Structure 1
Amino acid sequence: MTAAVRQARRADLPAIVAMLADDVLGQSREAAGPPLDPAYAEAFAAIARDPNQFMAVLEDDGELIGYLQLTFIPGLSLKGMLRGQIESVRIASSRRGRGFGHLMLQWAIEECRRRGCGLVQLAMNKSREDTLRFYQSLGFVASHEGFKLTLV
Protein backbone atom coordinates (compact mmCIF):
# COMPACT_ATOMS: atom_id res chain seq x y z
CA MET A 1 0.00 0.00 0.00
CA THR A 2 1.51 3.33 -1.07
CA ALA A 3 -1.03 5.58 0.64
CA ALA A 4 0.23 8.24 3.04
CA VAL A 5 -1.40 10.58 5.55
CA ARG A 6 -0.64 14.29 5.40
CA GLN A 7 -2.11 17.53 6.68
CA ALA A 8 -5.06 18.79 4.64
CA ARG A 9 -4.54 21.85 2.45
CA ARG A 10 -7.14 24.39 1.34
CA ALA A 11 -6.92 22.99 -2.20
CA ASP A 12 -8.15 19.62 -0.84
CA LEU A 13 -11.45 21.10 0.33
CA PRO A 14 -13.66 20.17 -2.68
CA ALA A 15 -12.50 16.54 -2.50
CA ILE A 16 -12.97 16.45 1.28
CA VAL A 17 -16.52 17.79 1.06
CA ALA A 18 -17.30 15.34 -1.75
CA MET A 19 -16.23 12.47 0.54
CA LEU A 20 -18.31 13.87 3.42
CA ALA A 21 -21.35 13.91 1.11
CA ASP A 22 -20.72 10.47 -0.40
CA ASP A 23 -22.99 8.32 1.76
CA VAL A 24 -26.65 8.16 2.75
CA LEU A 25 -26.25 10.40 5.80
CA GLY A 26 -23.87 12.84 4.12
CA GLN A 27 -26.11 13.34 1.10
CA SER A 28 -28.77 14.87 3.34
CA ARG A 29 -26.51 17.16 5.36
CA GLU A 30 -23.67 18.30 3.07
CA ALA A 31 -23.61 20.62 0.05
CA ALA A 32 -20.85 19.28 -2.18
CA GLY A 33 -21.54 21.76 -5.01
CA PRO A 34 -20.25 22.92 -7.34
CA PRO A 35 -19.99 25.66 -6.47
CA LEU A 36 -18.67 24.85 -3.02
CA ASP A 37 -20.60 26.57 -0.24
CA PRO A 38 -18.35 29.33 1.24
CA ALA A 39 -19.18 28.06 4.74
CA TYR A 40 -16.77 25.16 4.13
CA ALA A 41 -13.84 27.51 3.41
CA GLU A 42 -14.65 29.53 6.53
CA ALA A 43 -14.76 26.38 8.66
CA PHE A 44 -11.53 25.06 7.12
CA ALA A 45 -9.74 28.34 7.94
CA ALA A 46 -11.02 28.33 11.54
CA ILE A 47 -9.95 24.72 12.08
CA ALA A 48 -6.54 25.33 10.49
CA ARG A 49 -5.88 28.26 12.89
CA ASP A 50 -6.61 26.20 16.00
CA PRO A 51 -3.51 24.39 17.35
CA ASN A 52 -5.75 21.76 19.01
CA GLN A 53 -7.13 20.71 15.62
CA PHE A 54 -5.61 18.68 12.82
CA MET A 55 -7.26 17.84 9.51
CA ALA A 56 -5.66 14.79 7.94
CA VAL A 57 -6.06 13.42 4.44
CA LEU A 58 -5.03 10.08 3.03
CA GLU A 59 -3.47 10.25 -0.41
CA ASP A 60 -2.76 7.35 -2.74
CA ASP A 61 -0.88 7.89 -6.01
CA GLY A 62 -1.82 11.59 -5.97
CA GLU A 63 -5.52 10.92 -5.33
CA LEU A 64 -7.18 12.10 -2.13
CA ILE A 65 -8.99 9.03 -0.76
CA GLY A 66 -9.51 9.69 2.96
CA TYR A 67 -10.17 12.37 5.54
CA LEU A 68 -10.51 12.77 9.29
CA GLN A 69 -10.31 15.52 11.86
CA LEU A 70 -8.43 15.19 15.14
CA THR A 71 -9.21 17.39 18.11
CA PHE A 72 -6.93 17.45 21.12
CA ILE A 73 -8.98 18.13 24.26
CA PRO A 74 -7.37 19.12 27.53
CA GLY A 75 -9.43 18.30 30.61
CA LEU A 76 -9.34 18.20 34.38
CA SER A 77 -10.89 14.77 34.85
CA LEU A 78 -8.73 11.66 34.80
CA LYS A 79 -5.91 13.67 36.39
CA GLY A 80 -5.84 16.23 33.60
CA MET A 81 -5.60 13.63 30.84
CA LEU A 82 -5.38 14.94 27.28
CA ARG A 83 -7.87 13.27 24.96
CA GLY A 84 -7.86 12.80 21.23
CA GLN A 85 -11.24 13.09 19.50
CA ILE A 86 -11.56 11.60 16.01
CA GLU A 87 -14.34 12.97 13.81
CA SER A 88 -15.63 12.98 10.23
CA VAL A 89 -13.80 9.83 9.17
CA ARG A 90 -14.30 9.17 5.48
CA ILE A 91 -12.77 6.92 2.87
CA ALA A 92 -13.74 7.45 -0.78
CA SER A 93 -16.50 4.99 -1.64
CA SER A 94 -14.44 3.60 -4.53
CA ARG A 95 -11.65 2.65 -2.08
CA ARG A 96 -13.60 1.20 0.86
CA GLY A 97 -12.91 -2.36 1.99
CA ARG A 98 -9.22 -2.28 1.05
CA GLY A 99 -7.64 -1.45 4.42
CA PHE A 100 -7.34 2.31 3.92
CA GLY A 101 -9.65 3.04 6.86
CA HIS A 102 -7.49 0.91 9.16
CA LEU A 103 -4.36 2.67 7.90
CA MET A 104 -5.84 6.11 8.54
CA LEU A 105 -7.24 5.28 11.99
CA GLN A 106 -4.00 3.63 13.08
CA TRP A 107 -2.17 6.80 12.02
CA ALA A 108 -4.66 8.91 14.05
CA ILE A 109 -4.23 6.74 17.15
CA GLU A 110 -0.45 7.00 16.90
CA GLU A 111 -0.67 10.78 16.41
CA CYS A 112 -2.77 11.02 19.58
CA ARG A 113 -0.19 8.93 21.44
CA ARG A 114 2.64 11.09 20.05
CA ARG A 115 0.91 14.25 21.32
CA GLY A 116 0.51 12.78 24.80
CA CYS A 117 -3.15 11.76 24.79
CA GLY A 118 -4.16 9.20 27.39
CA LEU A 119 -7.21 8.09 25.42
CA VAL A 120 -8.77 8.37 22.00
CA GLN A 121 -12.51 8.78 21.62
CA LEU A 122 -14.93 9.03 18.76
CA ALA A 123 -18.63 9.04 18.09
CA MET A 124 -20.55 7.46 15.25
CA ASN A 125 -24.09 7.45 14.01
CA LYS A 126 -25.90 4.42 15.44
CA SER A 127 -27.35 3.58 12.02
CA ARG A 128 -23.88 2.64 10.73
CA GLU A 129 -23.61 -0.97 11.95
CA ASP A 130 -20.63 -1.77 9.70
CA THR A 131 -18.82 1.24 11.15
CA LEU A 132 -19.35 -0.09 14.67
CA ARG A 133 -17.67 -3.36 13.72
CA PHE A 134 -14.84 -1.44 12.03
CA TYR A 135 -14.08 0.61 15.17
CA GLN A 136 -14.31 -2.47 17.37
CA SER A 137 -11.77 -4.21 15.13
CA LEU A 138 -9.34 -1.38 16.01
CA GLY A 139 -9.87 -1.90 19.74
CA PHE A 140 -12.46 0.79 20.42
CA VAL A 141 -15.06 -0.12 23.05
CA ALA A 142 -18.61 1.24 23.10
CA SER A 143 -18.24 2.30 26.74
CA HIS A 144 -20.45 5.40 26.84
CA GLU A 145 -23.81 6.57 25.59
CA GLY A 146 -23.69 9.91 23.78
CA PHE A 147 -26.25 12.61 23.16
CA LYS A 148 -26.57 15.49 20.70
CA LEU A 149 -28.80 18.54 20.65
CA THR A 150 -29.15 20.18 17.24
CA LEU A 151 -29.22 23.97 17.53
CA VAL A 152 -29.68 24.97 13.86
Structure 2
Amino acid sequence: MKRRAFIFSAAAFSAASVMGGAAFAAADYTPGLVDQELAAGKTVFLDFKASWCTTCAAQERVMDRLKAANPDYEKSVSFIAVDWDKYGRSELAKRLKIPRRSTLVALKGDAELGRIVAGTREADIKALMDTALHAALA
Protein backbone atom coordinates (compact mmCIF):
# COMPACT_ATOMS: atom_id res chain seq x y z
CA MET A 1 0.00 0.00 0.00
CA LYS A 2 2.84 2.41 0.75
CA ARG A 3 4.22 1.84 -2.73
CA ARG A 4 0.90 2.87 -4.28
CA ALA A 5 0.78 6.02 -2.18
CA PHE A 6 4.33 6.87 -3.19
CA ILE A 7 3.59 6.37 -6.90
CA PHE A 8 0.42 8.45 -6.64
CA SER A 9 2.28 11.22 -4.79
CA ALA A 10 5.09 11.20 -7.34
CA ALA A 11 2.59 11.40 -10.22
CA ALA A 12 0.75 14.28 -8.56
CA PHE A 13 4.02 16.13 -7.95
CA SER A 14 5.07 15.64 -11.58
CA ALA A 15 1.74 16.93 -12.83
CA ALA A 16 1.98 19.95 -10.53
CA SER A 17 5.51 20.65 -11.78
CA VAL A 18 4.37 20.58 -15.40
CA MET A 19 1.38 22.77 -14.66
CA GLY A 20 3.57 25.17 -12.66
CA GLY A 21 5.91 25.55 -15.63
CA ALA A 22 3.01 26.74 -17.74
CA ALA A 23 2.85 29.91 -15.65
CA PHE A 24 5.95 31.13 -17.47
CA ALA A 25 4.70 30.50 -20.99
CA ALA A 26 5.45 33.34 -23.37
CA ALA A 27 2.76 34.78 -25.62
CA ASP A 28 2.65 33.09 -29.00
CA TYR A 29 3.74 35.34 -31.85
CA THR A 30 1.23 36.52 -34.41
CA PRO A 31 2.06 39.00 -37.18
CA GLY A 32 1.94 42.54 -35.84
CA LEU A 33 2.18 41.58 -32.15
CA VAL A 34 5.78 42.74 -31.71
CA ASP A 35 5.13 46.12 -33.33
CA GLN A 36 1.99 46.52 -31.22
CA GLU A 37 3.88 45.81 -27.98
CA LEU A 38 6.75 48.12 -28.93
CA ALA A 39 4.35 50.91 -29.94
CA ALA A 40 2.76 50.59 -26.49
CA GLY A 41 6.17 51.32 -24.97
CA LYS A 42 6.84 47.79 -23.78
CA THR A 43 10.16 46.00 -23.73
CA VAL A 44 9.94 42.81 -25.79
CA PHE A 45 11.94 39.61 -25.35
CA LEU A 46 11.69 37.37 -28.42
CA ASP A 47 12.40 33.64 -28.33
CA PHE A 48 12.77 32.21 -31.85
CA LYS A 49 12.33 28.50 -31.21
CA ALA A 50 11.17 25.19 -32.60
CA SER A 51 9.43 22.43 -30.66
CA TRP A 52 12.01 19.87 -31.81
CA CYS A 53 15.08 22.01 -31.00
CA THR A 54 17.10 20.79 -28.00
CA THR A 55 19.00 24.08 -27.72
CA CYS A 56 15.70 25.95 -27.63
CA ALA A 57 14.46 23.64 -24.86
CA ALA A 58 17.63 24.26 -22.86
CA GLN A 59 17.19 28.03 -23.25
CA GLU A 60 13.57 27.77 -22.15
CA ARG A 61 14.50 25.83 -19.00
CA VAL A 62 17.01 28.54 -18.08
CA MET A 63 14.51 31.34 -18.73
CA ASP A 64 11.85 29.55 -16.67
CA ARG A 65 14.27 29.21 -13.73
CA LEU A 66 15.19 32.89 -13.96
CA LYS A 67 11.53 33.97 -14.16
CA ALA A 68 10.72 31.82 -11.14
CA ALA A 69 13.55 33.45 -9.19
CA ASN A 70 12.56 37.00 -10.18
CA PRO A 71 8.85 37.67 -10.91
CA ASP A 72 9.73 41.19 -12.12
CA TYR A 73 10.75 39.71 -15.48
CA GLU A 74 7.22 38.54 -16.21
CA LYS A 75 5.65 41.68 -14.73
CA SER A 76 7.74 44.12 -16.75
CA VAL A 77 8.86 42.44 -19.98
CA SER A 78 6.68 41.11 -22.77
CA PHE A 79 7.98 37.60 -23.61
CA ILE A 80 6.97 36.39 -27.05
CA ALA A 81 7.66 32.91 -28.44
CA VAL A 82 8.16 32.87 -32.22
CA ASP A 83 7.62 29.45 -33.83
CA TRP A 84 10.62 29.06 -36.13
CA ASP A 85 8.93 26.49 -38.35
CA LYS A 86 6.03 28.87 -38.98
CA TYR A 87 7.70 32.31 -38.85
CA GLY A 88 11.39 31.66 -39.55
CA ARG A 89 11.07 33.36 -42.92
CA SER A 90 8.61 36.02 -41.83
CA GLU A 91 9.00 39.75 -42.28
CA LEU A 92 9.92 40.01 -38.59
CA ALA A 93 12.72 37.44 -38.87
CA LYS A 94 14.06 39.13 -42.01
CA ARG A 95 13.86 42.62 -40.49
CA LEU A 96 15.75 41.51 -37.39
CA LYS A 97 18.17 39.35 -39.42
CA ILE A 98 17.47 36.28 -37.30
CA PRO A 99 19.98 33.65 -38.47
CA ARG A 100 18.40 30.54 -36.97
CA ARG A 101 16.15 29.08 -34.32
CA SER A 102 17.40 29.31 -30.73
CA THR A 103 17.86 33.05 -31.11
CA LEU A 104 16.85 35.32 -28.22
CA VAL A 105 16.41 39.05 -28.86
CA ALA A 106 15.52 41.92 -26.52
CA LEU A 107 13.93 45.05 -28.04
CA LYS A 108 12.77 48.44 -26.78
CA GLY A 109 11.33 51.04 -29.15
CA ASP A 110 13.44 51.02 -32.31
CA ALA A 111 16.51 49.62 -30.55
CA GLU A 112 17.80 46.10 -30.23
CA LEU A 113 19.11 45.77 -26.69
CA GLY A 114 20.95 42.52 -27.33
CA ARG A 115 20.74 38.99 -28.64
CA ILE A 116 21.97 35.48 -28.05
CA VAL A 117 22.28 32.97 -30.88
CA ALA A 118 22.27 29.30 -29.81
CA GLY A 119 23.63 30.12 -26.35
CA THR A 120 22.44 28.26 -23.29
CA ARG A 121 24.69 29.62 -20.53
CA GLU A 122 22.56 30.84 -17.65
CA ALA A 123 24.84 33.84 -17.04
CA ASP A 124 24.43 35.02 -20.65
CA ILE A 125 20.65 34.55 -20.71
CA LYS A 126 20.34 36.27 -17.32
CA ALA A 127 22.40 39.21 -18.58
CA LEU A 128 20.09 39.61 -21.59
CA MET A 129 16.96 39.30 -19.45
CA ASP A 130 18.41 41.81 -16.96
CA THR A 131 19.11 44.23 -19.82
CA ALA A 132 15.47 43.90 -20.92
CA LEU A 133 14.23 44.35 -17.35
CA HIS A 134 16.34 47.47 -16.77
CA ALA A 135 15.07 48.97 -20.05
CA ALA A 136 11.49 48.19 -19.06
CA LEU A 137 11.89 49.87 -15.69
CA ALA A 138 13.74 52.93 -17.03
Q: Same fold (TM over 0.5)?
A: no
TM-score tier, shorter chain, comes to under 0.3
TM-score, scaled to structure 1: 0.25
Going by fraction, where is helix more abundant, 1 or 2?
Answer: 2
Structure showing greater Rg:
2
